[in-house]
Amino acid sequence: MIVTNTETIAGYRIAEIKGLVQGNTVRAKHAGRDIAASFKNLVGGELRGYTELLTESRRQALERMLAQAEQLGANAIVNVRFTTSAVTAGAAELYAYGTAVVAQPGA
Amino acid sequence: MGEFVFQIGFVVLMIGLGFVAGSIAESRHLAQLAERERRNGPFLVTQLKSFPAYSRTDLAPQMIVGEVVIASDYFKTFLASMRRIFGGEVRSFHSLMSRARREATQRIVEQARELGYNAICNLRIETADVGGSTSSKKGAAMVAVIASATAYTFRSPSA
């Protein structure tokens, strides 16, 4: 499965458009992470716990999107976009969406 | 009265700690970013939707995502709260935002390089909301950035 955030794929021709595919997830970290984060707000620096949270969420949302594309019989997803929203404090929703297509090698 | 003095002292101590630790963390991060950007120098980064100077290889283009969450320190947050009284540019958060964006971009570049690509196009950087950053009662500031791009291989026109 080829995944890009561009409308086209260099070196490939889009033979068929299968439609919109999407995946979302809402994840939260345990309270310990939030406490560690509040300490970081004192001294500055990267909040690794929250970075991890974003990475996990993104992976899960992408996996769900990929599963949908596979079901549609697509072999690529183009123009993938992400949006996030805060549902409550410490929990993040990550939504990934793109267009499932059938791509064939050749310009 | 004694309690009041203690509270003021505590806040001053926090600001001092934030200033010292925050400045160290920031200058270290900036130095590290400069070093990584120098090392990744010839890597082509664009936000064009097309694939500039694309050259065909066995490696199909692939989306790469990088994310980072950086916290403000107590001193910066204090400066920002002062700024909110008088209005104007909040410089202390300006560098925080740019550090987060540069870090996310470098993470994409490094991942792409590891996979054997030498360029990325259609770089999209957006700030995310991990909860609490906008609605927190303490005004704890953090920047969450999620950036995505498509990695591909290019051949420089001069070569």
Would you kindly state where each structural domain of chain B is located, as residue ranges? 2-152
Is the pLDDT at B136 greater than 60? The verdict is no
Q: Measured between alpha carbons, how far is A82 from B127 in angstroms, rounded to an integer?
A: 10
Go through B38-66 and write b for each residue having 16 or more CB atoms within 10 A of its CB, e for each that does not. eeeeebbbbeeeebebbeeeeebbbbbbb
- Indicate yes or no: CB of B14 within 8 angstroms of CB of A10: no
Is the pLDDT at B135 greater than 50? The verdict is no
**pLDDT band (50, 70, 90) for residue B89:** confident
Of A4, A38, A85, the CB nearest to B63: A4
pLDDT value for B132:
55
Chain A residues with CB-CB distance to B130 below 8 A: 50, 53-54, 84, 86, 90, 92
Query: Residue A92 belongs to what domain range?
Result: 2-105
Q: Is A13 on the interface with B (CB under 8 A)?
A: no
pTM: 0.85
The DSSP bridge partners found for residue B103 are: none
CATH code, A65: 3.30.110.70
Between A3 and B54, residue with greater pLDDT: A3
Q: Measured between alpha carbons, how far is B5 from A95 in angstroms, rounded to an integer?
A: 48
Q: Measured between alpha carbons, how far is B67 from B12 in angstroms, rounded to an integer?
A: 33
**pLDDT band (50, 70, 90) for residue B133:** very low
How many other β-carbons are positioned within 10 Å of the β-carbon of residue B32? Answer: 12
Tokens 């870090």 appear where? B103
Count of alpha carbons within 13 Å of B45, Cβ hemisphere only? 22
Strand ordering across the sheet containing A76-86: A2-3, A76-86, A91-105, A12-28
Q: Which of A14, A33, A40 to mutate to test the interface with B (most CBs of B within 10 A)?
A: A40
User: Mean pLDDT across chain B, nearest whole number?
Assistant: 84
Report ipTM (2 d.p.).
Answer: 0.83
Is the distance from CB of A13 to CB of A96 less than 8 angstroms? Answer: no
C-alpha radius of gyration, chain A, whole number: 17
Interface of A with B in 39-68 (CB under 8 A): 40-47, 50-51, 53-55, 58
Tokens 């290019």 appear where? B154
Query: Which superfamily does CATH assign the domain made up of B2-152 to?
Result: Hypothetical protein apc22750. Chain B (3.30.110.70)
**pLDDT band (50, 70, 90) for residue A99:** very high
Q: Measured between alpha carbons, how far is A10 from B79 in angstroms, rounded to an integer?
A: 48
**pLDDT band (50, 70, 90) for residue B158:** low
Q: How far is CA A56 from CA A12, A94, B66, in A?
A: 30, 10, 12
- Token pair, residue B112, equals 């792409």
- Work out the minimum CA distance from A17 to partner chain B, whole angstroms: 18
Determine which of A35-49, B7-21, B60-74, B85-99 has the lowest per-residue pLDDT on average: A35-49
Q: How many domains does chain A have?
A: 1
- Token pair, residue A80, equals 């993938």
Whole-angstrom distance between the N-terminal and C-terminal Cα of chain A? 18
Quick one: CA dihedral A6, A12, A14, A20, positive or negative? Answer: negative
- Indicate yes or no: CB of A5 within 8 angstroms of CB of B73: no
Q: State chain B's maximal CA–CA distance in angstroms.
A: 75
